Amino acid sequence: MIRATRIALLFGLLLLSTPVALPAAGQGGPAAAAPDPHAGLGESGIPDVPAGPGTIRGRVVHALRPDAVSDLPVVLYALPHGGAPGLRGATTDTNGEFVFENLAVDPDTAYLVGVRFAGIPFGMRTAFPEGESERRIEVSVSDPTDEVGEVEIGEVKIRIERGCDDLRVIETLDVRNPTQRVFFVPEALRPDHPPIAEMLLPEGASEVQVPFGSFPQGLDQDGRRLRFWGPLYPGGQEIEFGYGLAAGGETRTLERGFPLGAERVVVMTPAAGPAPEGEGLHDAGETQLADQPYHTAVAEDLAPGTELAFRIGALERSDADTGVSLVEARMWLELDDAALVVDERYAIENPTGGPVGGVGAAPLLCIPLPAGAEALRFSQSAMSMGLSRDPSGSLAVSGPAPPGDSTVALRYLLPVESERVVFERRFEQPVPLLAILVADTGLVADSERLHRLRPVRTEDRTYMHLEAFEIEPGETVSLGLDPLPAPRAISKWQAALLVGAMSIAAIAFLAVPLGGGPRASEREGVPPHRAERESVLEALRDLDHDHETGKISEDDYQSDRLALQARAAAMLRAEDAARANRDAAPAPEACPSCGVKIEAEWRFCASCGAVVAASSRAEDEPSQGAA
C-alpha cells in the first residue's frame, strides 16, 4: 500500500503524461515539464532506468548566479516505449555538471532530466537518436519573481460533451510568459497578491477535476474562482481542467468570466448536436479533434473582466447500440491494517470489426468509484481507450475501443477505519459475470449476492474466490470482510482436565496390545495391511486438502507428499512379497496362534479369532467377476 501511494504521488509531482497518470475529462495532462527530485527518490519503489551503453552528460546553468548551481539534486526519469518507467538520482558538482551512465539507447525511450532550484522544478526532455550513445544537455534555472504583470492569456478552449450523468466541460487555458524569468507567487504572499491567471467558472459548475486527480502545485479553487499561482516558465504553458454541469433536457445559457481577459475564446460542441450561440460569438464552422467533428464558435480580444454568455442545446446521451459490451468484471482485494488495495479489470468486447467511440462521443463505459478511493492508477491500454475522470466522479471510457477484446485495468486504495470492512461496487451497465478474489490473510467473507467457489492458489498467495452472474444496471454488490476471531484461551482447570484425559487415553492405548487379544482390525475383519494402506491414502487426501486451502507451504507439501508416496510404495512391495510367500507355502492345518485344527474354508480361527493364511489369500485376491 505504501509503495503504491508513493508511486502515485511521484507521478503526480512529475507532471508527466504517463500511462499511470489520470488525465482530466477529455485528453492528456499539461505540457509542463520537470521531474521533481524531492518526490521520494530512493523510497518510491520505482526501478532503475533501463540499462545499456548510453550516457547523458548535463550541466545546470544560472545566467546571473553561476556559483549557485553546485550540490543540486538531479533526477533522471525514463519512459520506455511499452515498458515500466525508471528513476535514478545524481548531484551536481561545483560547476553544476552531472552525468548518468549505463543507459538504454533505444530511440523510443524518452528521458526527462529535472532539478529543483529555489523551490521550483526545472527540467527538459531528451532521447538518444538512432546510432548515438551519448547526449549532452543543459538545464537553465533562474530565480523566481512574483511580479506577474507581464503575463498574457492566449487562447481559451471550452469543449462541452455528454458525460456519464450530466454535461462535462473541458477547458484548456494558454498562459504565456514573454520574459526569461519564472513567475511564481509563494503561498505566504497569495492572500494579498493577484494570481498569475484566474478563471471564473459558470454558475452550477461541479467540483473541478484536474490531471492526476489532485490539484498540482500552484492551482487552487475558491468557489467559482480557479486561480493559478505558478510556477510559469518562459514561453508559457497550458492549464487544463474539467467540471460538470447539469444536463437538463433543454437549451441552457452558460456565463464564463475572464478576469484577465483573453486573446481568443473557442467554444466547441459535438457536431451531432446543436452549435453553440451567443452575443460576441461567431460561427467558425466545424473542426476535427481526434477524428471527431465539432461545432465551433469563436470570440476575439476579450478585455479583462469580460463575461461571455453562450447558449447550448440539449446534448442527450444516445441510446443507440454501439455494439460494444462489457463481458466481465474481475477484482482482486488485499486488506492490511491501513487500507484495502483493489485491482479491477474490465473485459470489453467490440465485435463490429472497427474502432468505436472516441473524443466527443458519449462514454462507452462508466465505472463509478467507491467513496474515498485514492491513489488511482491505470494501465496503458485503459489510457489508450480514452479513460478520463468524469465530473460525476466516475471513470469514463470514451473510446476508441479497438475491434475484438480489450481490457481496462485500474488500481486504487480504500482507507480502513474499523476491523470490519464493507466493500461495495455499483455498475452503470449490466455485468454478465463479476468475480472477486480476496487475499486470504485470515479473513471471513460474507455476501448475499456472491457465492463461493474453490480457492485460487498462486505461487505466494491463496485467494478466496467469489462470483455472481447477471448484475443489473444500478445494482449494488456488497462484500463484508471480517478478521478471523483469535483462539480463546482456556483456564488452568480446563487445561488440567485436558491433560488428565489425554494421559488416561494414552495409557489405555498402550495397554491394549499387552492383553494378547486380536487387534481391532482383526476383530472387525479388516486385514492389518489394508488398514495401514487406507490410513496412508487418508493422509494423502488430508495433505492435498491442507495444500489447497493454504494451510501448509509449497515446500512442506511437496516433501510430505513424497514421504507418504514412498511409504505407500514400500507397503505395496511388502504385500507383493508376502503374497508370493503365501502362494508358495501350503495352507496350515492348525491355527498358528492357539493350535486348534482349522477347516479349509475358515477365514478366522473359531477358538481365538486369529486370521488364518487361507483367509488372507482370499482377502487379497479379487472376487469372481471383479473388474
Highest mean pLDDT among 520-524, 561-565, 607-611: 561-565
DSSP codes, 395-461: EEE--PBPSEEEEEEEEEEEE--SSSEEEEEE-SS-EEEEEEEEE-SSEEEE-SS-EEEEEEE-SS-
Q: How, if at all, do strands 262-270 and 152-162 pair? A: parallel
Distance CA 425, CA 371 (A): 10
| pLDDT tens readout for residues 377-434 | 887 777 778 787 777 778 888 878 888 888 889 999 999 888 889 999 998 889 999 9
pLDDT class of 189 with cuts at 50, 70, 90: very high
Strand pairing report for 182-183 and 252-258: unpaired
Instruction: Evaluate if residue 332 carries a pLDDT over 50.
Output: yes
Mean pLDDT for the stretch of residues 550-561: 73
Give residue 491's pLDDT.
Answer: 57
Q: Is the Cα torsion angle 39, 41, 43, 48 positive or negative in sign? A: positive
Q: What local confidence, expressed as pLDDT, does residue 77 receive?
A: 92
Q: Which amino acid is at 611?
A: V
Give rounded-to-5 percent helix, strand, coil for the chain: 20, 40, 45
Query: Nearest to residue 113, comparing CAs of 30, 33, 31, 20?
Result: 33
As a whole number of angstroms, the distance between CA 94 and CA 364 comes to 55
Residue 539's pLDDT is: 76
Sequence ranges of the domains in the chain: 33-142, 152-312, 325-483, 492-585, 586-627
Predicted local confidence at residue 499, as pLDDT: 62
Which triple of cell numbers denotes residue 261? Answer: 481577459
With a pLDDT cut of 70, the percent of the chain lying above it is 74
What pLDDT does residue 288 have?
85
> What's the CA gap between 314 and 252, in Å, rounded?
8
Locate cell 485470515: which residue? 442
**C-alpha distances in Å from residue 5, one per residue of 1, 22, 150, 335, 381:** 6, 14, 38, 15, 21
The fold for domain 33-142 equals: Immunoglobulin-like (2.60.40)
626 has pLDDT over 80: no
Cα 271 from Cα 219, distance rounded (Å):
32
Least confident of 227-236, 239-248, 260-269: 239-248
Nearest to 378 by CA among 110, 45, 23, 44: 23
Confidence label for 519 from pLDDT (cuts 50, 70 and 90): very low
Render pLDDT for 581-619 as a digit per residue (tens, 0 to 9): 665 556 567 777 777 777 766 767 766 766 765 444 444
* Sheet order of strands, 282-289 included: 237-245, 167-176, 152-162, 262-270, 292-302, 282-289
Residue percentage of the chain with pLDDT more than 90: 28
Domain 152-312 CATH (choose: 3.40.640, 2.60.40, 2.40.50, 3.10.450): 2.60.40
Task: Say if 152-312 and 325-483 have the same CATH topology.
Answer: yes
Residue 479 pLDDT class (50, 70, 90 cuts): very high
Q: What is the mean pLDDT of the chain?
A: 77
Q: Inform me whether the pLDDT recorded for 246 exceeds 50.
A: yes
Q: Which CATH number fits domain 325-483: 3.40.50.20, 3.40.190.10, 2.40.128.20, 2.60.40.1730?
A: 2.60.40.1730
Q: Inform me whether the pLDDT recorded for 26 exceeds 70.
A: no
Q: What is the pLDDT of residue 511?
A: 54
Find the helix or strand (DSSP H, E) in which 311 lies: strand 306-312
Q: Picking from 47-61, 74-88, 90-104, which range would have the lowest pLDDT averaged per residue?
A: 74-88
**pLDDT grade, residue 29 (50/70/90)?**
very low
